Amino acid sequence: MTGRPDDVGVLLAQAVRLREAGRPEEARARLLELRDRFPDDAQVAYQTAWVHDTLGLEAQAVPHYVDALALPGPGPGPGHGPGLDADDRKGAMLGLGSTYRTLGRYAEAVATLSEATAAFPADNALKTFLAMALYNAGHAHDAMRVLLTVLAATSADPDIAGYRRAIEHYAQDLDAVEGAT
C-alpha cells in the first residue's frame, strides 16, 4: 500500500493542467480541496503554494510552501514517504525564498535561499534570487559577489568572457585596492 491514494495523483494532475492552461482560479479551488482531503501530501502542498504565487497571493502561499518542504509526502506507508523529489524541493525552496522576499521578510528569504544554494550549488537561479534577497537585507556587497560569480561562470558574451578571471577576482572583494598598504 502507498501513502497516497491513486486518485490524488489524477486530481493533482488535473489541477496542475488548469494552472498551466491559464485557469489558476479553478486550479486553486481544486488544490485547496485536495489540501483539505490530503493535508499530509507534500506534492499537493507544493502545487497549492505555486498556484497562490501565480495569483499574487504570496502571503497565502507561504504556509503551503512550508508544509511542502516539511511533509514526508507520498511513499511506502501512510504519510511516510520521501517528500518532494529534488527538482520539486528546489522549486519549493526558490518559491518560498522568493515569496519571503516579496513580502519583505528579507532575513527569512536569505536563510531559505542560502539553504537552497547549499543544497543545490549548481543552480544559478537560486543564486540570483539569493543575491536579490541579500540586497534587500542590506548586504549589497554579498549580493554583488554572488551575482558577479554567476555572471562570470555563465556568460557566453565574448566581452564578459574575456574578463572572466578579473570578474571572478573582484567578486571576492570589490573593495580591494591593488598596491594599498
pLDDT at 160: 95
Domain that holds residue 35: 1-84
Over residues 3-25, the mean pLDDT reads: 87
User: Is 94 inside any structural domain?
Assistant: no
Q: Are residues 78 and 112 in the same domain?
A: no
Q: What is the pLDDT of residues 87-130, one digit of tens each?
A: 999 999 999 999 999 999 999 999 999 999 999 999 999 999 99
First to last CA, the chain: 70
Q: Are residues 72 and 144 in the same domain?
A: no
pLDDT at 92: 97
Q: What is the pLDDT of residues 126-181, one digit of tens each?
A: 999 999 999 999 999 999 999 999 999 999 999 999 999 999 999 988 887 776 55
CATH number at residue 34: 1.25.40.10
Q: Are residues 69 and 133 in the same domain?
A: no
User: Is 89 inside any structural domain?
Assistant: no
Q: Are residues 126 and 76 in the same domain?
A: no
DSSP-based helix, strand, coil % in the chain, nearest 5: 70, 0, 30
Q: Are residues 24 and 68 in the same domain?
A: yes
Over residues 9-31, the mean pLDDT reads: 95
Q: Are residues 11 and 46 in the same domain?
A: yes
pLDDT at 77: 47
User: Is 91 inside any structural domain?
Assistant: no
Cβ(58)–Cβ(77) under 8 Å?
no
- CB-count burial class (<10 Å; 0-12, 13-18, 19+) for 155: middle
Structure letter (DSSP) for residue 83: -
Q: Are residues 9 and 80 in the same domain?
A: yes
User: Is 33 inside any structural domain?
Assistant: yes
Q: Are residues 48 and 113 in the same domain?
A: no
User: Is 117 inside any structural domain?
Assistant: yes
The angle at the Cα of 76, spanning 74 to 82, to the nearest 5 degrees, equals 50
Specify the number of domains making up the chain.
Answer: 2
Which distant-in-sequence residues (6+ apart) come within 8 Å of 61 by Cβ? Answer: 48, 49, 50, 52, 53, 95, 99
Dist. CA 5–CA 34, nearest whole Å:
12
Q: Are residues 75 and 139 in the same domain?
A: no
Cβ(65)–Cβ(52) under 8 Å?
no
pLDDT at 5: 62
Over residues 54-75, the mean pLDDT reads: 89
User: Is 147 inside any structural domain?
Assistant: yes
